[in-house]
Amino acid sequence: MSIQIFGLPVSRGVAIGRAVLIASGRVDVPHHFVDPARVDEEIARLTEARDTVAVEFDALKRDLPSDVPAELAALLDVHQMLLQDEALIGAAGDWIRERHYNAEWALSAQLEVLARQFDEMEDAYLRERKADLEQVVERLLRVLGRGVGLPAMQPHARDFGGDEPLVLVASDISPADMLTFKRSVFTGFVTDVGGKTSHTAIVARSMDIPAVVGARQASGLIRQDDCIIIDGDAGLVIVDPSPIVLEEYRFRQRQSELERSRLARLRHTPAVTLDGERIELLANIEMPEDAPVALEAGSAGVGLFRSEFLFMGRGIDLPDEEEQYGAYRRAVEGMNGLPVTIRTVDIGADKPLEGMTQSELRHESVLNPALGLRAIRWSLSEPSMFRRQLRALFRAAAHGPVKILIPMLGSAHEIRQTLEQVALVQRQLSESGKPIGKVQLGAMIEVPAAALTLPIFLKHFDFLSIGTNDLIQYTLAIDRADEAVAHLYDPWHPAVLNLVYQTIQQANAAGRGVSVCGEMAGDPAFTELLLAMGLRSFSMHPTQVAAVKQRVLRADTRRLAGAVDIVLASDEPEKAWAEAQVAGGAPALSPARLASVA
């Protein structure tokens, strides 16, 4: 009997194949007390397991194929960082020393402590790194158990018989395990857990493979060798489809493959609308190693480099100036002279600050970290940490064009404090004689208070970047991480669209640069509307650049602009925009123009 399973669409397209189930890799954990005389021996066993796993990670990274996505190597680095973090191994050693837990029990106990901290994080990307932590602990438990649990996953096509396409179904998949797969084996992924910024989603997008995550009980409902369809556009998994449905999706799959081929031909084509408007399509990246991916996608630079990766999982051991400078410099040099916009650390009240305990830090914001000490609020509360980052950024600007982006500003007071710190850093660097570059300073518009007081921001900043993810969340009072209300998260809400429109219009009128760096920028459904609003700079995941560029090439901004007032005045903007598009007859990319870019 055919069944349908719904999840989150994280990588577009259609995959059809036989299911290969990888059961949950959770290892049974023995619990017992260690004799006090053997505590040191047990800690040594834990340390030896860490060293063994570190060697495994090194071997995996060393043997990476040349064509492997950069995201996989970057995620391995994250796992190595978590493995070496004293908040995991050192704290687990404390459980052994103080409670006499065996090593496996100590690891599991510390995982529970850290998992609660990850669950409280506001930032979706950081929150979903909990899965990475769990997978590192799982590898450690496998080593400690001398093979107890699942063996390492190493599927090859011959293991499953024939050349029929295969799709992978699992509770979750670690990046290290994914590296053991041949890229040609699996044509799609389905996982029970995960979100749009989980590692499985990141890898699926980087490989341009259809994927659905967060499908809850998929691995329990799907049986080995079931015929399944993955609809990466709708977030739908169809198990044992009828012949009619199967044929329909096979047709859609062929159409999708043709579309991908067309998009690939547009990769290095200038993004210019039919009426001659040049559009800037930029990439969002997380690590310096993502720069080649951004270049390969045909982006015109980096519109958002999230610096949080340097601070993630560090506890109070925050990165110093030299470490940050080296990372920012690699990103800048990796873009070969194209501009790089680096956001100062946007981390929440869930991360401890220097000199403060976790309980002290979260005293005011434990109930809702989204409204607590996060982003620029955190930076301004720790000015020495903030100045270290600013110094590293100004020094990196000596190696290429850099823009500094300040997140979550909401008042004139915060703006003044930020500018004072910037001026102080510039004086320090000038006196030290260290080479620095000229930077543009920008503000993220992601708090309604900022969108409603734009003249203050336009007076002090060179450019604005609209963070639509948080702007939507704060405008609609919706916690994106809360499943009970997540369905109310609506980028088409009239209030959201009006704030975005007013921000774009006022920035353009003041001669300031303005871009959108949230999910709306990479969603082709919003491309023409944002163009109609006057937006000329978009920043998105590198794999979304080609699809958005296709929309840009087909757009005539003069014809589109006429529908904006109707849409903004409507109670149902999405419906009004669709009707306006039909009435206006969206122009198609002519064969001559398509041929000219081949």
- For the stretch 323-364, pLDDT in tens is 999 999 999 999 999 999 999 998 763 333 333 434 434 444
pLDDT at 541: 85
The reply to whether 480 sits in an annotated binding site is yes
User: Does residue 147 come out as left (phi exceeding 0), alpha (psi in the -120 to 50 range) or beta?
Assistant: left
Beta-carbon neighbour count of residue 35 at 10 Å? 9
Residue 43, CA distances (Å) to 84, 102, 330, 462 in order: 15, 9, 37, 54
- The Cα diameter of the chain in Å comes to 82
Rounded alpha-carbon distances, angstroms, from residue 479 to 124, 309, 534: 11, 23, 29
Report whether 469 belongs to an annotated binding site: yes
Would you give the DSSP letter of residue 101? B
Q: Which stretch of DSSP H or E encloses residue 465?
A: strand 463-466
365 has a pLDDT exceeding 70 = no
Partners of 482 in the beta sheet? none
Does 470 count as an annotated binding residue?
yes
Whether the CB-CB separation of 190 and 212 falls below 8 Å is answered with: yes
349 and 375 Cβ atoms separated by less than 8 Å: no
**Can you tell me whether residue 158 is helix, strand or coil?**
helix
Neighbour-count burial of 54, counting CB atoms closer than 10 A to its CB (0-12 exposed, 13-18 middle, 19+ buried): middle
List every span in the chain annotated with CATH 3.50.30.10.
3-24+152-245
Pairing of β 513-516 and β 280-285: unpaired
Q: Is 306 annotated as a binding residue?
A: yes
Extract the tokens encoding 555. Answer: 């757009």
The confidence score (pLDDT) of residue 468 equals 93
The pLDDT of 173-194, averaged and rounded, is: 69
Residue 383: per-residue pLDDT: 94
> Could you tell me which of 396, 395, 413, 353 has the C-alpha nearest to residue 378?
353
In angstroms, what is the C-alpha Rg of the chain? Answer: 25
Q: Which of 79, 399, 517, 541 is labelled catalytic? A: 517
Q: What is the pLDDT of residues 423-442, one digit of tens each?
A: 999 999 999 999 999 999 99
What mean pLDDT do residues 80-95 have?
90
**Residue 28 pLDDT level (bands cut at 50, 70, 90):** low
**Other CB atoms within 10 A of residue 424 CB:** 14
Q: Please state, in angstroms and rounded to a whole number, the distance separating the CA atoms of residues 427 and 135.
A: 45
Q: What are the angstrom distances between the C-alpha of 91 and each of 2, 78, 99, 100, 180?
A: 48, 19, 12, 13, 31
* Predicted pLDDT at 368: 61
Set 31, 79, 156, 199: catalytic member: 199
Q: Return the exposure string of 485-497: e unless at least 16 CB atoms fall within 10 Å of the residue's CB, then b.
A: eeeebebbbbebb
**Burial of 429: CB neighbours in 10 Å, binned 0-12, 13-18, 19+:** middle
Long-range contacts of 257-266 (CB under 8 A, 24+ apart): 260/13, 260/208, 262/550, 262/594, 263/546, 263/547, 263/549, 263/550, 264/546, 265/594, 265/597, 265/598, 266/298, 266/546, 266/549, 266/550, 266/553, 266/597
Superfamily the domain 3-24+152-245 falls into: Phosphohistidine domain (3.50.30.10)
CA neighbours within 13 Å on the CB side: how many for 296?
12
Q: How far apart are CA 204 and CA 395, in angstroms?
A: 35
Least confident range of 193-202, 217-226, 241-250, 371-380:
193-202
Alpha-helical segments (H) within 23-129: 39-62, 70-84, 89-99, 103-119, 124-127
Annotated active-site residue 413? The verdict is no
More confident site: 115 or 245: 245
Q: Is 62 exposed, middle or buried (0-12, 13-18, 19+ CB in 10 A)?
A: exposed
Of residues 194 and 386, more confidence is placed in: 386
Spatial contact of 341 and 412, defined as CB atoms under 8 Å apart: no
* Residue ranges of the chain that CATH labels 1.10.274.10: 36-144
The yes-or-no verdict on residue 234 having pLDDT over 70 is yes
Regarding pTM above 0.85, the answer is: no
Strand order in the sheet with 8-11: 3-6, 236-239, 227-231, 14-22, 166-170, 186-191, 211-213, 8-11
Indicate if the pLDDT at residue 139 is higher than 60: yes
What letter would DSSP give residue 172?
Answer: -
pLDDT grade for 146, boundaries at 50, 70 and 90:
low
The neighbouring-strand residues paired with 305 are 285, 342
Percent pLDDT > 90 in the chain is: 50
- State residue 206's pLDDT score: 64
Q: Which CATH number fits domain 36-144: 3.40.50.11740, 1.10.274.10, 1.10.1760.20, 1.10.3720.10?
A: 1.10.274.10
Q: Whole-angstrom Cα distance, residue 257 to residue 393?
A: 41
Rounded-to-integer distance, Cα 128 and Cα 135, Å: 12
Q: With 90 as the cut, is the pLDDT of residue 114 above it?
A: no
Q: Which residues contact 151 (CB under 8 A, 6 or more apart)?
A: none
Domain with CATH 3.20.20.60 in the chain: 259-276+481-598
Query: Would residue 199 show up in a list of annotated catalytic residues for this protein?
Result: yes
- The answer to whether the CB of 291 falls within 8 A of the CB of 283 is no
Domain covering 259-276+481-598 in this structure, CATH number: 3.20.20.60
Q: % helix / strand / coil in the chain, to the nearest 5? A: 50, 15, 35
| pLDDT for position 556 | 95
Q: What pLDDT score does 456 carry?
A: 97
